[in-house]
Each structure stands twice: as C-alpha cells, then as structure tokens.
Structure 1
Amino acid sequence: MTLPKDETPALDRRSLRKLMAAGLIGSSIEWYDFFIYATAAALVFGELFFPDASPLMGTLLSFSTFWAGFIARPIGGLVFGHFGDKFGRKPALVTCLILMGSATFLIGLLPTADSIGVLAPIALVFLRFLQGIAVGGQWGGVILLLTENAGRDRQGRAGTFGQMGVPIGVILGNIVFLAVSATTSAEAFVSWGWRIPFLASAVLLPVVMFIQLRVEDTPVFRELKSHSEEAADEKVAQAPLKEVVLKHRRPVLLGAGLLFGTNAIFYISIAGVLDYATRDLGVDRDELLAITLAASAISVFVIYFSGGLSDRIGRRPPILVGAAVIALWAFPFFWLIDTAKLPLIFVALVGGLIGSSLTYGPLAAFLAEMFEPRIRYSGASLAYQLAAILVSGATPFIMTALLAATGSSASVSAYVCVMGVITFLSAFVLRETRTKDEIRGEAGRDLARTD
C-alpha cells in the first residue's frame, strides 16, 4: 500500500498558533464534558439514578451508562467522518462541539430517580449517548484541522494540540469537582453540587463561535474540493464511509489496535481506580482526585514531547516504547495501588500515564497519515472510535466485574498487559508513515535555509 503524503502548504505561523490554541481549548472543553461523566459515575450516579441497587450493582449500572457514550462514539465517527470528508472538516467539528455542550448542560439539569423514577436513568443514558456521538465526530475534525494545516514536517507536534485535550479535560474536571466538593457539604454535593461541573460546559460556546467565524477549512480539503469542481473525476469522495469499510479494513483494525493499551490504562487510571480505591481501599476521595490531577498534568507534557519526537524519528518508535511500558507496568501498577498509600498510588498513576501518553502523542498524525485525504476523516475516526467501543468504555466495567469475580487486582493487571501487547503488535505490523528519507530531506532543507 502506498501511503498518502500531503503536499499542501502550511498556514503562516501566526494563523497556525491561533488554530492550535483554538484546537487545544476546544478539545480540552469537549473532553472535560465527556470525562466529568466518568467522575460523577464513580462518585454519585449509582445512588442518584439506581437507588434500589446494592453499592456494587449501583456502580456496575453507573459504569454501564458510562459505556453508552463509547458505544455511540463509532456512530459519531461514522456519521461525521462521512460528513467531514464530503463537506469539510470545520462544519463537522462545529456541529459536534454544539451537540456536546448541549448534552452536557442538560445532564446538569436532569431530575434523579427520586423525582421521575425509571425515566431518570433512561434520560441519562440518552444524553450520554449524544455525548458519545459528539466526541466520536469531534476527534477527527480537530486533529485534521490541526495536522492538515501544519505542513508535513510538523504534523506530529500539531496533532498533540488535539491529543493534549484529553488529560487537560481530566484536569479541568477534577479541579471543578474538587472546588465544588471543598465548598459544599457531603449532602449538598450529592443533592445538587455534582450538577455544577455539567452546567459549566456552557463556556464551550465562545470556542464554537471562534472556529465558525475565524477558522477556514484545511488546505487539503479545499484543494480536494477545488479539483472536484474543476475535473471530471471527482476528488471529494462521494461515499467515503463505504469506501473505507470495503477497501481499507486492515488499517482500520490495526489503527484501532494502536489504542487498546493506552485506552485501557488511561480509563482505569481516571475512573476505575477512583471507584476501587475509594470504595474498596478506603482512600479519601478528594485526595485521590488531587493526585489524579497531578498525574494527568505530567501526561500533558509527555504527549507533547512524544508527538514532537515522532516528527524527528518516526511515528512508530514512541508508540512501541509506550506500549511496552504499559504491558510491563501492568502488575506493578496494581501492586502500588493496593497499598492504599497516596504517594505510591501517585507513582502507579504516573507510570501508567507515561506509557499511555508516549503511545497517544503521535497517534493523531499517524492515524491521519494512514489514509488518503479524500477518506481520511472517515478512516481515522472509524479506527479511533472502534477502539473506544471495544476497550475504552468497557474498561471500568470490566475492571469492577473482574475485581468482584476474582477478589484480586491481578486479573485486571493481566487485562491491561494483554491490551498493551496488542498495541505493540499493531504498531510493529503497520508501516511507518514518517520515513527516514523524508526526515533527512527536511533536515537538509532546514540546513540549507540557515546557510
């Protein structure tokens, strides 16, 4: 398979910096909206929406509603991938941001089971489903706006401004939850305090307006559209989703495999451990949220480093190293968690998130480069969101179920190790999209410009 290369010019530095800032802010708020659900599911949704269930069953049911968002993500990736390949990256992204903000805000207004009975969890699942559709379409839009505007030699670094939104979203969510918890009583937090983080999603609106009014679509898509209008053979794919499914199944499946390890350890770190350590190990909720915040802050810098490094040495090496770290750290991770000592839990989270971030940093550029521009939104989104439904949403549920069935965290460690091995093998099998000849050529051009 001949891998696609983008020859379109990059934006000027000033415009690119504005776009990167908008992409980072928009992605961070979007993921904040998606992840505060995980925190609320671990802390309060069980008793508010499933009050008749036991604590364990309430947690399982709460995490099953969390999973609904991930089931919806491939749908969002398919729908908006098709839309983005046919009509443009920007309109698809703006629509997703509006949908996410609206669904999150409405969760903050949702009556609980005490008020409307069984309709409460049904409405919760529906809104979570809309969140999943939004984030499923959003990822492809923001990473393509960034990478397709950055120029060939900076795509890895540019893509991290979408990827860094994930840990920043976790940080923002934890800060808001900590602030609300610190300023309300335990009873008030359960009664109404948990709603504040969801209502705060209204701040996404200015970002939507900036992207809509000040950001143009990518030069890659504009060139495709121009060729389509001028030439008899259509360059913009008329059925991009169908083309991806029929002709590009291998890169989609292997691309999804790239995310198995990073998704498993990440969602265990931000959701599974929060429930396990507070409910089974007796760790203080606020202190655990604080160290999760600190560990997530470290991962922001590792993602940026890893993406930038992939521009210089290739996409696969950082992914392979990160996958190896995830697999090798899986058992020490839970040995440290099981001590119930906060400093050791922090070490466990940092080690796991470093492995996750090394893998995750180059993935925006790598997944985009695996597909030609005319089907890129559909192909990259389908690969990314397929991993979401298979691993991301299932992981907290699987972790809770394994702990209940075996009584030992070793079973969860084994699960994480297997996921890391799958990511390593997927990266090993895939062809490098950032070749040594290409890197040397760009280094030579940079040297010539300095002479």
Structure 2
Amino acid sequence: MSASQVSPGRVALAAAVGATIEWYDFFLYGTAAGLVFDKLYFDGLSGSAATFASFGTFAVGFLARPVGGLIFGHFGDRIGRKAMLIWTLVIMGVGTALVGVLPTYDSIGVLAPILLVVLRILQGIGVGGEYGGAVLLAVEFAPPQRRGFFGSFAHTGVPGGLFLASAVFSLASLLPDAAFMSWGWRVCFLLSIVLLAIGSWIRLSVMETPAFQQVKSDHEVIKVPVKELLRCQPRTLLLGMGTRFIEGFTYNLYSVYLLAYAVNTVGVEKQTVLDAIMAGAALGVALTVVAGALSDRLGRKPVYRIGALLGLALAFPTAAMVSSGVTLAVVASLVAGLGLVYGTVYGPLAAFWSELFETRYRYSALSTLYQVSGVLASGLTPIIAAALVTLGGGSLWLVACYNVVVAVISLISMQLLPETHGRPLEAVDESVAPVATELRPARASV
C-alpha cells in the first residue's frame, strides 16, 4: 500500500492511541507525586518539604524532555518518524513499569528517591521524543484542508492520558488506604506493560509519512537539523514557545498542583478530586478535536485566542472557588480548566506549529519548541505554584496573578506569528524565516 492510499483517519487514530499510552505513563507519575510519593519516598522530610521534593522529581521529567526531544528529533528528521515513535514507546513503558516495582524509602533508604529520579528521567527522555513524531504522523498524512482536525487527534493523547491515569488511580483509591499505599498504586504503573504491547502493535502497522519520504527522495535530509532550524527560524521558534506557555501552565496547574491543594489543603475527598480531573480530561479530549476542526474553518489564531482569553478570565474565579473548599466549586473549576480552557487552546496547535516549519527539520522544530518551553511552562508550574502559595500565606491569589501573566505572554506571542491556516505545508513565510540554502545529501553520516 502506498502512502497516498493510507487513510488519514486511521493514521490519526494510531497517533492518538500511541500518544495516549505515552502520556498515561508520564502523567501517572504526576498523580502519584501529588498523592503517594511524598509519603513513600520522602517520608524522612517534613510535610511541606516532602511535597516540594515530590514535585521536584516530577519537574525532573520535564528537564529531561528537551534531551529526548533533541535526540529523537534529530534522528526523526534523518531516519524517519515511525522508527522513533517505536523507540519512545518502549523507553517510556519500561521506565513506568519499573516505578511500579521500586522499593520505598523505608526499604532501601536514600537509594529509593535516587532511583525514582533516574526512572523519571527515563520517562522524560521517552516522552520528549514522542510529541513531535506523534503530531507529524497525523499532520503529514492529513489532507491540506483538514490538518487542524486530524492533527488534533495526536493532541488528544495528553488529556486522554490524563483521563486514563486519573481513572486508574480513582479505581485504585477505592481500596482501603493501607492497601492503596502498599500495592494499589503500583498496579497503575505495572499496567504500562500491557499498554506498551498494544501501542507497539499499533505503531508498527503505520507507514512512514509521505512528507518525510519526499525529503528522502529529493536528497534533502539535513546532517544537523536543529542547527538549520536555529539558523533559519529562531524568531518563529521563540514565539512558538511563547504560545505554548498557557497550554502547559493550565494543564499542570489543574491536574497536578490543584489536585494536591484541593486534597491536602482544603480537605476535599481524594476520590472526588480524581473524578473531577477525569471528567475535565474527558471534556478536554472532545474539545481538543472540536477546536482543531474549527481551526480549519476559522483559522488557527482565532480559536487559540478564545481559549487563552478564557484561561485569563477564569484565573481569579478559579482561585476563589478552589480555596472555598466547597466540593461543587472545586469540581467545576477543575472541569472548566482542563476541559474548556485546555481543550480550546490545545486543539489548533498541532497544525499551527507544524505549518510554521519546513519538513526538513520539522520533527526537531516541534520537539524543541514543545520540550524546551515545557520546562518552565509545564514542569516548574507545580513548584512555582507551591512557592507562590507559601509566599501568599496559603492563598491562591498570587497563583492567579501568575496565571494572568502567562496568558498575556501567550496572547502576545500568538499575535506576532502569522496565520498558517490554508498555507501549503512547505510554504514558510519569508517575513518569519529566511530561505535555507544549504542542503545536505541523505547519505551523510548520522
């Protein structure tokens, strides 16, 4: 079967399923960091110090993601998208399963948190290479007029992964506390072995993208893709990172920090909060696809702006509602943040970011944009939020102020970038990027 005969819908589904499995693994750690790891791996520390340490190991995964992005982005632009997606899935699945059998601090002392950090780094490297490949698998197979819709399927992996992680943890939380803390949470991580087998089978059935095949046939493979990216489109890359800010912040504020805050500070039932996050993630999956489809009609930028402005408008109401401790208010806030805000912002970005960069270094571009900016936008969000709450005497108001700043930066960044809706995948606006002239033969050494 040739690439032209492959159904874009089938490829988009494969991208979505594989991405969901990888993000399940990654976000499972975030849920455990808020509920389990501070007690099992940092119980030698005081309450707040243990929380900071637990969120610190969570952030380590984001620090490792740019490394994975650079490695897999490089080879994804030189060897192909498909091979890299198989490797990232294996790395992530093995790292996650090993967390499920890791002894606690009480068993092996300080070696326990050290090994936890090592496995989190392995997770970070795996998911760091995953993002660019999954998006390009969907976008580069999609018809030009429907890139927003099909590209959004790869983005459903993030809320989809959170939905699975929250659902599994929610079921495990039905166990008595002693059983949950002893072995229940471990089952959630060990399930990764089953998901790894499913994801590998799905990705092995998908062909290489036609866009990359064209680059190979034209002998336009670049020796060092990221170098060409930085030479040709540094401004676009930097502004693209700015548009990522509100997306990463919103996701990790609501799914990680506010999870811990609602349970540990204001006393909402753990089961209730997990169910709310699960509902918000489910809504996020649906709205990500809807927003992607709308961006094919209205443009990428208008749809994104709606989500970013909604995130700005909900900043202070969210702080008030979560701080109130009223169960219904907390649930509504989490569902609105993870569903309405996140889904609307994230939906058009797969196509938008892909259309900004040339095929020759597009995997490296998306990996660099997403993973480097993710250190601040995503990984440090729970730590920054915890620090602002401590500085504010336990209040979320300073976090709300930070939310506003993040939204404004993202909106300005989007304003300075061109609309890409309707642009051919190879057409790069010369006002955004100079034309590259130095091409390397495909036979150059890796």
Q: TM-score under structure 2 normalisation?
A: 0.92
Aligned pair count reads 422
1:449 equivalent in structure 2: none
- Correspondence 1:98-137 to 2 at 5 A: 98-137=90-129
> Which of 432, 439, 443 does residue 419 from structure 2 map onto?
432
Q: Report how far residue 436 of structure 1 moved.
A: 8.9
* 1:246-303 Cα distance to aligned partner (Å, 9 max, x none): 3322111111111111211211111111111111101110111111111211111111
> Which of 134, 138, 144 does residue 130 from structure 2 map onto?
138
Aligned in 2, Cα 1:275/1:209: closer, same or farther, shift over 3 Å?
closer
SS in 2 for 1:53: coil
**Paired residue type of 2:401:** A
Q: Does 1:387 align with 2:379?
A: no
SS in 2 for 1:69: helix
1:252 equivalent in structure 2: 237
Q: Report how far residue 162 of structure 1 moved.
A: 0.8
1:365 equivalent in structure 2: 351
> Which of 391, 399, 424 does residue 412 from structure 1 map onto?
399
- Correspondence 1:249-288 to 2 at 5 A: 249-288=234-273
Structure-2 separation of matches of 1:83 and 1:208: 21
CA contact (8 A) 1:156 1:365 kept: yes
**Paired residue type of 2:11:** L
Q: TM-score under structure 1 normalisation?
A: 0.91
- Correspondence 1:35-434 to 2 at 5 A: 35-182=27-174, 184-228=175-219, 235-353=220-338, 354-407=340-393, 408-434=395-421
Structure-2 separation of matches of 1:364 and 1:10: 21
Structure-2 separation of matches of 1:396 and 1:140: 24
CA contact (8 A) 1:26 1:204 kept: no
Q: Report how far residue 326 of structure 1 moved.
A: 1.0
Structure-1 separation of matches of 2:182 and 2:110: 18
Q: Report how far residue 205 of structure 1 moved.
A: 2.8
Structure-2 separation of matches of 1:191 and 1:350: 30
SS in 2 for 1:149: coil
1:29 equivalent in structure 2: 21
Unaligned runs of 5+ in 2: 426-446
Q: Report how far residue 419 of structure 1 moved.
A: 0.7
Structure-1 separation of matches of 2:361 and 2:195: 28
2:433 equivalent in structure 1: none
SS in 1 for 2:420: coil
SS in 2 for 1:276: helix
**Paired residue type of 1:25:** V
Q: Report how far residue 336 of structure 1 moved.
A: 1.0
Q: Report how far residue 358 of structure 1 moved.
A: 1.0
**Paired residue type of 1:194:** W
Greater displacement, 55-64 / 289-298: 289-298
Q: CA RMSD in A?
A: 1.6
CA contact (8 A) 1:256 1:384 kept: yes
1:442 equivalent in structure 2: none
* 1:210-266 Cα distance to aligned partner (Å, 9 max, x none): 3453211000001111111xxxxxx11111011122332211111111111121121
**Paired residue type of 1:214:** S
Structure-2 separation of matches of 1:290 and 1:352: 14
**Paired residue type of 1:419:** V
**Paired residue type of 1:370:** L
Unaligned runs of 5+ in 1: 1-8, 229-234, 439-451
CA contact (8 A) 1:10 1:150 kept: no
1:447 equivalent in structure 2: none
Q: Report how far residue 18 of structure 1 moved.
A: 2.3
CA contact (8 A) 2:262 2:330 kept: no
CA contact (8 A) 1:178 1:289 kept: yes
CA contact (8 A) 2:66 2:372 kept: yes
CA contact (8 A) 1:262 1:357 kept: no
CA contact (8 A) 2:96 2:190 kept: yes
**Paired residue type of 1:35:** F
Q: Report how far residue 202 of structure 1 moved.
A: 0.9
Structure-2 separation of matches of 1:209 and 1:30: 11
Aligned in 2, Cα 1:293/1:175: closer, same or farther, shift over 3 Å?
same
* 1:68-99 Cα distance to aligned partner (Å, 9 max, x none): 00001111111111110000000111110110
Structure-1 separation of matches of 2:160 and 2:4: 25
Structure-1 separation of matches of 2:420 and 2:95: 37
Aligned in 2, Cα 1:436/1:386: closer, same or farther, shift over 3 Å?
closer
CA contact (8 A) 2:86 2:204 kept: no
SS in 1 for 2:208: coil
Q: Report how far residue 340 of structure 1 moved.
A: 1.1
Structure-2 separation of matches of 1:17 and 1:261: 29
Structure-2 separation of matches of 1:415 and 1:215: 42
**Paired residue type of 1:195:** R
